[in-house]
Structure 1
Amino acid sequence: MLNLTTPGVSIEEITKLPYSVALAETAIPVFIGYTELIPDQYKNAFKIGSLLEYERSFGGPKKEGIQLKEVKDKGVALIPPPVQFLMYYSLQMYFANGGGPCYIISAGKYPSTGEVQLSALETGVQMIDYIKEPSLIILPDAISLANEEDFYTISNQVIEKAKVETENRFAILDTYYGNSVKGSNDLTTIDIFRNKVNSTSHAAAYFPHLKTILNYSFDENKTPIVHKGLQEPKQESSVFYKGEIAALSELQNLANMEISGGSPDPFILADFLGQAIAIAEEINESADAVSHGKSSLILAINESKAVLDAIYDGTIDDFTVPDDLDESAPAFSGEFEALKSAIVDVKDEEGEANGIILKNLESSNSALYNQVKKEIQSLKVVLPPSSAMAGVYNRVDSIRGVWKAPANVGFNYVVAPTEKISDQEQAKLHTDDTGKSINAIRTFTGKGTLVWGARTLDGMDRKDGKDNEWKYVNVRRYYNMLKQAISKTLHEFIDEPNIRPTWLQAKATLENFLNQQWMEGALAGITPKEAYFVEVGADEDETKTKTMSVTVKVALARPAEFIVLRFSHQLQES
C-alpha cells in the first residue's frame, strides 16, 4: 500500500501474473445408477469427495433378503443374492483403488420391483450435459439390465456422450457377463460385445469381472429368512430329488440285468433293493414333515423292507420275468417303481430357519445363527471392473500423469478375476479385425491381479498399413486434456489486439507449458524441438476478417507395450 501523506495524484503499480496453462481435470468420474436416497438439494448431479459423504447424501446399499438351502452332509449354505443395484459397492471399489472427488447422478431410488430400467439410466446419461467437469463416465448398474440388448443400447449412448469434441470425456465400459459365456449362436461374451458396441477411441472396455473382498448387505432385522430344504437352487422341475430318482433307476437296471441273465443271485438282488431303501429313507428324513406324498413314501419303504426280509428268508425265490422286459419294467414286486413314484411327490421346501428373522434366530437356535453369519461373511461381492478402473485412472494420473498408461497396475480389494486368461486368450482380446480391443485383467504369481492392457475400442491399425495413433487409452486421454487446457488458456486472449506482441505472448505461454510437459516425460523427443511446435500468427479468411491462428503440434509418448529382449553370445576360441 502507498503511504499517502501529500495531496495529489499517486500511482500504484499492480503486478499481473503472466498467462499460464492450467491442467484440466482428467479423472473425475460421474457414476450413474440407483441410490437408496436422493438428497433434497439434488438437481442434475451431486459432487462428493468420499464414501462417507455419499452415505450421508445417498444412503447405503440395498439390503438383500437371506436365502438358505440345505446341503447334504454340510448343513446350510447361503444362496448368492441376485444383486441388481451396484452403485454403493462400485463406489467402495472406486475409493479403495485411488479414487477422489466424483459426481453422482441418481437414476432413482431402489425400485420395489427390484429391476433396473433402461429409461432411468438413459435419463441419467442425458444429465451429463448439465455438468462440465466429469471426464470419466461409469454405469455400474448397466449389467443388471434384464435385456442384454438394453445393455448395448445404453453403452452406445454413453459412447456418444464421450465423443463430444468440446468436452474432455472418456467412457469405461464393462462386458455384460463376467466370463466367456457362449450364447445360442456359439458366440462368447466378447464376440457379442464387439458386434453390438460401436467402435471409438473415446472408450475402453475391461474383462472379466472381479471377485472382491466386499460383503453383501443383508436385511437381518426385518425380512424373514427363506430357508429351502434339500434341493437344487433354481430347479426347473417340481421334482426335488432328481439325482436320487436317477440312482434308483440305475439300481433297477442292474437288478433287471441280473434277472435277465438267468439264475439270478437273490443276495445280489437284495443288495440292490437295500441300497434303494436306504436312499428312500434318507429322503424321508430330510423332507418336510407335512410334505405331500410323504405318507406314500413311508408305505413304499415298508413294503420294500418286507420284500427284502422275504428274500433273506427264502420266501421269495422266483425272479422270472417276461421276455419283453424293458428298463422301466419292475424287477420284482414293483418295489423300485413304487419307491420312485412316491419320491416324485415328496417336497422338501422348508428348512428350520424358514420365516424367521435372523435377529430372532440368535435366541431360538444360536448354532444355526452362527452358521448363517459365517456364510454371510464368506460370501463376497462380484463386480464389473469399471469402477475399480476409474480409481486406477485417478491413482495413475495423480502419481505419474495422464500420459502414463493405466496398465501393469494392481487392484485393491480384489481377490481374483472371475475368469483366468492365458496369453493366447489375451491375444484374441488385444487385437481383432473389428479394431475393438478388450483390456484383460489377469492374475500373475507373486504380483496379484493386474490390469494388463491399455487400448481403446479403436485399437486396429489403419488399412494403409500406418499405425493408429488413437489405439492407446493414455494417448487419447492426454490429447483430450491438452486440447481442453490449451483452449481454456486461449480464451484469455479473446479481445486482445491481434498484433505481434499478443502472438508472442500466446506462443510463449503455450511453449512454457509444453516444455514442462516434455520435461516430465509426457512428450516424446530428445529435444524440445522434436517434442512440440507452436506457431501463432494472423489468419485471414475469405471475408478478410483477421483472426489469430494458433497451430500446436505435439509428439505424444506411447506405452512400451511390447518389449523384445535379444541375447547374443560368442564362443571362446579354442
Structure 2
Amino acid sequence: MARPMHRALVRRRGLQGGAAMANATSSYLNRSTPGVYITEIDAFGNSIVGVPTSVPVFIGYTEFAGDPNTGRALYNTPVSITSMAEFEIYFGGAAPQTYTVQPVPQPTATSPAPTPGFTADYTMVSTDPGAPEVVPTAFTLTPAADGASFNLYWQMQLFFANGGGMCYVVSVGSYWADQYPARFPGPVPADWLPGTIAAGDPAQSGKPGLLGGLDAAGAAVGPTMIVIPEACQLDQADYATVATAMLEQAGSLQDRVAILDLPGCMTADSYAALQTCQENLTAAIDSQTANLSYGAAYAPALNATIVTTAHLMFTNLTASDGDNSVINNILTTQAIQLYTGSQLATARSAIAAAFPPGPAYGTTDSAQYSVDASAYPAPPPGPALPHWQRALDTFLLNSLPMFKEIEQLIANAMNIAAPSGAIAGVWALSDNSRGVWNAPANLALASIASPLYNMSDSEQAGFNVPVNGQAINALRLQTNRGTVVWGARTLDGNSFDYRYIQVRRTLIYVEQSIKAALQSYAFAANDATTWATVTAAISRFLTELWQQGGLMGAKPSDAFTVQCGLGSTMTSQNILDGYMVVAVTVQMIHPAEFIELTFTQTMAG
C-alpha cells in the first residue's frame, strides 16, 4: 500500500461567491412589487483546472536574443516558443564548432611503440605505394582551444524530437564574445571569437552568465522543469554553484523540478569516469538535502544523430591562426593517390582554397599548395559567402573520401550530448500521453544512436540505489528498442515520500492546481459556507484525478480525503488570525520498479 501524502493548504482567504447562496435566497426580503421572481443558485461552485506540467525552461547561450518585430534585445528574458522555427526566429542558429587535425605519432625504427595516450580517429591507407608520403598516416580531431561547446541549439532539437512542445528559453548572452545586438545584420565578422560558458558571480548585481538566466526563469510563472544543458561543462566549483541554485529555486518555488546533467558527463565514456561524475555530483549538491526531491539526474551522455555532414562545412576545420598545413597536407596526399593531370590540379586548387597552409609551411613543396585563382576566386563579401562555401564543400565531399570521413568524425563529436534536453522532451511526451502520475521511464529516446557508455545491470545498481540516496537514472541500450530511459528516481532516493519522479511531480501538479484555483477565495468570509465550497471544489478535482488513474484506491474515499473546518483543521484562534486551513491527504501511485517473477514446478497429478 502506498504511503498517504499529507498536505495542508494555509491561506488568508475570502469567498467572492461564498455568500452567494445566502444572498440569493434572502433577496426576496427586498421585493416591493407583487409577482413571481426566478432566482438561479449555482449548484457546483468554481471548478479546479489542472495546471500544465510539461513546460521546461531552457537556459543557455544563443546566437542572439531579439524580438523579430521590434528588434528589442531579449537577453535574460523568458521567451515562450513551441518549435525550432520559433527558436531560430528569436535566438538564431547553432554555434560554430571548430576542430583541428593533429597527427598521431606512429611507430618508427627508433620508437617502435605509439606515443601513450594517443588514439587515432582515422588512419589513412595508401592505395599507391609509389605516392609520396608527405604526412603521418594517422591523425586525431580535437576541438579548437577557444571553443566551448555551446549546445543549447542542439539540445532544443533533441527536446522537440523527443516529444517536447511549449517551453520557455532564456538566453544569457550571445555565444560570440562581448557581442549583444538584438539581431545580426549579416554574417558574423571574422574577428569575433566565441565566448565561454560562465556560471556568473552570485555576489554580483545582475548575475551575468547562467545564474542570471536562472534568476530570470525564477520570475516566470508556468515552467515546471529547469534545464541548463551547458552547465555540465563548467569546472567543479562553478557547476556546484549552478546545480545548487537550480535545486534551491525548485525547492523554494515548489512548482518545478530541476533536470541535472552530471558534471563532466560529455567526456565520461567509461564506468570509472561515470563514477567520478557521480562523486562530483554528490559533492556539488551536498548542501541541498532539503531540496533533493526537486531534482533528478540522468547519465550517461548520449550519442545523438541530429548533427549530420549537411550541417558542416570545411570552415569547421579551418585553423584560427591561418595555418592549415596539416589538413591541407592530408587531403593533398589523398588527391595525389586518386587523381592525375587536370583532375589533380583542380583538387589541389580546391584544397588550397579551403585550407590555405599559412606562412609556416610555405617552404615545403610549394607546388603542392598552388591555387588556381580562376577555379576558386576569392570568396565574395557579404551574404553570398555561405553559397560559395557550400559549393566548395560539396566539391571536396564528392572528390575526397577522406574529407567526407573527417566531416563525419566532426559530426560524431558534435553529436555527443548531455541528456537533459532529450529527457525534458520525454517528460513532456509522457505527461501529455499518459499523465504526470506515470513514471517517465521505459521510453525509447528519439534521434539517439546509443549511450556514450552502455552500463550493465550490475553497474547501474550503484547509480540507481546508491547509499546516499542520490539516484542517477540510467540511459540503457536495449535490443530492438534503442536507447531507453531506465530509471525514475529523484535525487532523494532514500525518502519513501519523494523517491520517485512522478510522485514529486504529481504532488506539484495537485498543489499548484489547487493553489491557483483557491486564489479566487481570498478575502471571502471565513465561515462554514466557504469551507464547504472549498472542500467540494478540491474533492471534485481529486475525484477526476482518481478517475484518470492519478491516485491509488478502490474508491475516491480510499484515494484522498479533504477536510476544512473549525475543530478539524482550525482553532478559533486560527479564524481570528484570518487563517483558513485545508488538509488534503492523497494516496500516491508508486511504480513497479522491481518486478519479481516466481516459478514453481509441479508434478503431474
TM over 0.5: yes
Alpha-carbon distance in structure 1 between the residues aligned to 2:41 and 2:528: 22
Residues 488-533 of structure 1 show CA distances to partners (whole Å, capped at 9, x for unaligned) of: 2222222333332322221111111111111111111122111100
Among 76, 79, 82, the residue aligned to 2:141:
79
Corresponding residue for residue 166 of structure 2:
101
Cα distance, 1:414 vs structure 2 = 0.4
Deviation of the 1:93 alpha carbon: 0.2
Q: Is the 8 A contact 2:100 2:317 kept in 1?
A: no
Q: Which has the larger radius of gyration?
A: 1
Give, in whole Å, the separation in 1 of the partners of 2:211 and 2:313. 30
Contact 1:69 1:228 in 2 (8 A): no
Cα displacement (A) at 1:541: 2.2
Following TM superposition, by how much is the alpha carbon of 1:397 offset from its aligned partner in structure 2, in angstroms? 0.4
Of 512, 517, 525, 2:540 maps to: 512
TM-fit CA distance, 1:408: 0.5
Q: Please give the TM-score of this superposition, normalised by the length of structure 1.
A: 0.70
User: 2:420 & 2:514 partners in 1: Cα distance?
Assistant: 29
d(CA) in 1 for partners of 2:259, 2:159: 13
Change (3 A) 1:154 1:365: closer
**Is the partner of 2:326 in helix, strand or coil?**
strand
Greater shift in the superposed pair: 51-60 or 110-119: 110-119
Cα deviations by residue, 1:531-571 (Å, 9 ceiling, x for unpaired): 10011213222684454321110001101111111122321
Q: Which residue of 1 aligns with 2:505?
A: 477
SS of the equivalent of 1:163 reads helix
What secondary structure is seen at the aligned counterpart in 2 of 1:47? strand
User: By how many angstroms is 1:375 displaced?
Assistant: 3.6
Corresponding residue for 2:449? Answer: 415
Aligned counterpart, 2:56: 29
Q: Which moved more, 1:477-486 or 1:217-226?
A: 217-226
Q: How does 1:226-237 map to 2 (within 5 A)?
A: 227=324, 229=326
Let me know the Cα RMSD of the aligned residues: 3.8
Aligned AA (2:219): Y
Query: Any residues of structure 2 matched to 1:4-43 within 5 Å, and which?
Result: 18-39=45-66, 40-41=71-72, 42=74
Provide closer, same or farther for how the CA distance between residues 25 and 359 of structure 1 changes in structure 2, counting only shifts above 3 A: closer
Change (3 A) 1:387 1:501: same
Equivalences for 1:93-172 in 2 at 5 Å? 93-110=158-175, 111=177, 112-119=193-200, 120-145=209-234, 147-164=235-252, 166-172=253-259
Counterparts in 2 of 1:91 and 1:500: CA distance versus 1, 3 Å: same
CA contact under 8 A between 2:324 and 2:358: conserved in structure 1?
no
Supply the distance in 2 between the matched residues of 1:10 and 1:208 (Cα, whole angstroms): 74
Q: CA deviation at 1:362?
A: 5.3
Task: Report the CA distance shift for 1:393/1:569 in structure 2 as closer, same or farther (over 3 A).
Answer: same
Are residue 402 (structure 1) and residue 427 (structure 2) matched? Answer: no
The share of aligned pairs that are identical, in percent, is 29
Contact 1:403 1:478 in 2 (8 A): yes
Deviations 1:459-492 (CA, angstroms, capped at 9, x unpaired) = 015xxxxxx2111111011111111111122222
| Structure 1 residue 401: Cα displacement | 0.7
Separation of aligned partners in 2, 1:459 and 1:368: 56
Conserved in 1, the CA contact under 8 Å of 2:325 and 2:358?
no
SS at match of 1:22: coil
1:207 aligns with 2:299: yes
- The separation in 1 between residues aligned to 2:445 and 2:139, in whole angstroms, is 29
Q: Letter of the 1:95 partner, please give it.
A: F
1:139 counterpart letter in structure 2: I
Distance in 2 separating the partners of 1:364 and 1:500: 81
1:87, 1:60 → 2: CA distance? 10
Which residue matches 2:23? Answer: none
Q: Distance in 2 between matches of 1:484 and 1:544?
A: 26
Q: CA deviation at 1:177?
A: 2.6
Q: Determine the structure 1 residue equivalent to 2:95.
A: 62
Counterpart Cα distance in 2 of 1:135 and 1:366: 44
User: Are residues 122 and 181 of structure 1, via their aligned partners in 2, closer, same or farther at CA, if it must alter by over 3 Å?
Assistant: farther
Deviates more, 1:15-24 or 1:435-444: 15-24
* Contact persistence 1:227–1:353 (CA under 8 A): no
Query: 1:390-447: per-residue Cα shift (whole Å, max 9, x none)?
Result: 0000000001111101111110000000001011011100112211011000011122
The more displaced of 411-420 and 430-439 is 430-439
Q: Per chain length, whose mean CA-contact separation is higher, i.e. which structure has more relative contact order (CA < 8 Å, sep 6+)?
A: 2
8 A Cα contact 1:98 1:394, kept in partner: yes
* Structure 1 residue 63, shift from structure 2 partner: 1.9
In the alignment, is the contact (CA less than 8 A) between 2:257 and 2:295 conserved in 1?
Answer: yes
Paired AA for residue 137 in structure 1: I
CA–CA separation in structure 2 for the residues paired with 1:475 and 1:454: 10
Q: Is the 8 A contact 1:175 1:193 kept in 2?
A: yes
- Give the aligned partner of residue 475 of structure 2: 441
1: distance between equivalents of 2:502 and 2:393? 53
CA distance in 1: counterparts of 2:46 and 2:488, whole angstroms: 34
Given the alignment of the two structures, is residue 459 of structure 1 paired with residue 493 of structure 2, yes or no? yes
2:394 and 2:419 map into 1 onto residues whose CA distance is 40
The more displaced of 397-406 and 121-130 is 121-130
2:283 corresponds to which residue?
Answer: 195
- Written as runs of structure 1 = structure 2, the 5 A alignment for 1:282-431 is 359=390, 361=392, 368=399, 371-373=402-404, 375-377=406-408, 379-380=411-412, 381-431=415-465
1:66–1:218: 8 Å Cα contact kept in structure 2? Answer: no
Provide the C-alpha distance between the structure 2 equivalents of 1:135 and 1:99, rounded to a whole number of angstroms.
Answer: 13
> Contact conserved, 1:38 with 1:57, CA < 8 A, in 2?
yes
8 A contact 1:221–1:359 mirrored in 2: no
2:284 partner amino acid: K
Structure 1 unpaired stretches of 5+: 1-7, 234-287, 295-346, 462-467
AA at the equivalent of 1:568: T
> Counterpart in 2 of 1:174?
261
- Residue 531 of structure 2 corresponds to residue 503 of structure 1: yes
In 2, the alpha carbon distance for the partners of 1:162 and 1:366 equals 48
Question: Using a 3 Å threshold, how does the CA distance of structure 1 residues 46 and 13 change in structure 2: closer, same or farther?
Answer: farther
CA positional deviation for 1:126: 1.3
Equivalent residue of 1:201, what SS? helix
Asked if 2 retains the 8 angstrom alpha-carbon contact of 1:362 and 1:369, the reply is no
Aligned twin of 2:563: 535
1-structure distance, mates of 2:358, 2:196: 36
The answer to whether the 8 Å contact 1:353/1:361 transfers is no
Deviation at 1:101, TM superposition (A): 0.9
Distance 2:394 2:597 in 1: 66
* Per-residue deviation, residues 337-361 of structure 1 (Å, max 9, x unmatched): xxxxxxxxxx99xx97999985575
Work out whether 1:88 is the aligned partner of 2:153. yes
| 8 Å contact kept, 2:271–2:453 | no
Contact 1:159 1:202 in 2 (8 A): yes
Q: Choose the corresponding residue for 2:553, options 507, 525, 535.
A: 525
Q: How many Å apart are 1:183 and its aligned residue?
A: 8.8
TM-score, with structure 2 as normaliser: 0.67
Deviations 1:15-48, CA, capped at 9 Å, x for gaps: 8673111111212111110000110342621111
Q: Which moved more, 1:121-130 or 1:212-221?
A: 212-221
- Alignment match of 2:595 (pick from 559, 563, 566): 563
Q: CA deviation at 1:223?
A: 8.1
Question: Is the contact made by 2:64 and 2:174 (CA closer than 8 Å) also made in structure 1?
Answer: yes
Relative to 1, partners in 2 of residues 1:544 and 1:385: Cα closer, same or farther, differing over 3 Å? same
What does 1:543-558 correspond to in 2, within 5 Å? 544-545=576-577, 547-558=579-590
The answer (yes or no) to whether the contact 2:318–2:324 under 8 Å persists in 1 is: no
Give the distance between the partners of 2:490 and 2:370, measured in 1 at CA: 50
